[in-house]
Amino acid sequence: MRLTGRRGFTLVELLVVIGIIAILISILLPTLSAVQRQAKTTQCLSSMRQYGAFFQLYSNENNGYWPMANHNFAPPGTADLPESNRTRNKRWHDFLGKYANNNRLVNWDGSGLASVGNQPNALGSVQDTIASLHQQGRNNVLRGCPSWDIRSSYIIGTQPNFSINNTAFSASVALFTGYSMNIYTFAPLSTAELRPGGFTSISSRTTSTGTAGKGWYWKQNQWRQPAQRALMLDSIHPNTSVTPTVPWWTAFGWTRMPPVPDIFSFTIDFNRHGRVATGNKYTDKTVNVLFCDGRAETVSCKEAQYAIRFTTAP
């Protein structure tokens, strides 16, 4: 009986197969990347809706009021005045933390879960050192956006030398939630226009009366046009800073939109859910926003600016 040898692949056939696989991968990778990006965007929107429920729970327990974005106060045993004594602060997420943490306070000082007697530090950051939450920098229970875990801290250089700085603020950013609460409660009214009780339209700063820049606790129903007003948004800093100028970059004398947001002057993270890592357009749908009516939506940087400041139609 004659045995016939089994014919193997020739080198040419092997190269053809490899080439076909390479082509298929090049076709599929953008699609897979888009699917992954959309999944993260959807997860972030889900987290925002949960935050909306937390705001509602806080309101139900506090006579209809929403928390202040940033409440400064003096440490125990220290006089509340002068204002320079107010070296501690509670941010909006400190007020909401217990709803995400089985009714336990989330720590305020970065050392672990808070006790009732713990006091927040000046940074106002949120950290949870439980081992299961501490891995890979995902170390707080309030960080709801998976894309924020990999964000860099941003600093804008002078045009045209815009740059991304991966080291500045790195320690702080590791503790930020990736979201900020809108501080412009009554925008577009002037920040110098005082409200009843001596407080301006900004829901931030201290609780004292008098000068512009002071804030207060405002009731949920005092936030006008809730279906259009931003309550929380993707941000590179816990504080919201958004110029009313449209387009915003012209307020700083720039002739074009920068590739990344400014951590000091314009904190909307307009690249977070974009197709590219930096330099998304002003009209691209790249920013997740929680509106005052509880709806969460992916909008453009222009639409987010309008939802925060109401300075021009989106």
Q: For every residue of 259-271, which 3-state class applies, written as one string? A: CCCECCCECECCC
Higher-pLDDT residue of 60, 10: 60
Q: For residue 201, how far is the Cα from the chain centroid?
A: 21
Tokens of 231: 């309550």
Q: CA-CA distance, 234 to 252, in Å (whole number)?
A: 22
User: 23 is written with which tokens?
Assistant: 């082509």
What's the rounded Cα separation, in Å, for the pair 128 and 106? 7
CA-wise closest residue to 223 among 255, 198, 189: 189
Q: Which residue has the tokens 């929403």?
A: 66
Cα-flanking dihedrals φ and ψ of residue 131, to 5°?
A: -55, -45
Q: Is pLDDT above 80 for 26?
A: no
Taking alpha carbons only, the member of 77, 76, 71, 143 closest to residue 106 is 143
Instruction: Check residue 85 and give its pLDDT.
Output: 76
84 Cβ contact partners less than 8 Å away, ≥ 6 residues apart = none
What DSSP element (H or E) covers 60? helix 11-61
Is 91 a residue whose pLDDT tops 70? yes
Q: Tell me, what's the pLDDT at 66?
A: 92
Contacts of 289 (CB under 8 A, 6+ apart): 48, 230, 232, 233, 234, 296, 297, 298, 299, 303, 304, 307
Residue that has been written with the tokens 């713990």 in this structure: 118
Lowest mean pLDDT among 183-192, 208-217, 218-227: 208-217
Rounded to two decimals, what is the model's pTM? 0.78
Q: What whole-number percentage of the chain has pLDDT above 70?
A: 63
pLDDT for 143: 74
Backbone angles phi, psi at 31, to 5 degrees: -65, -45
CA 184 – CA 186 distance, rounded (Å): 6
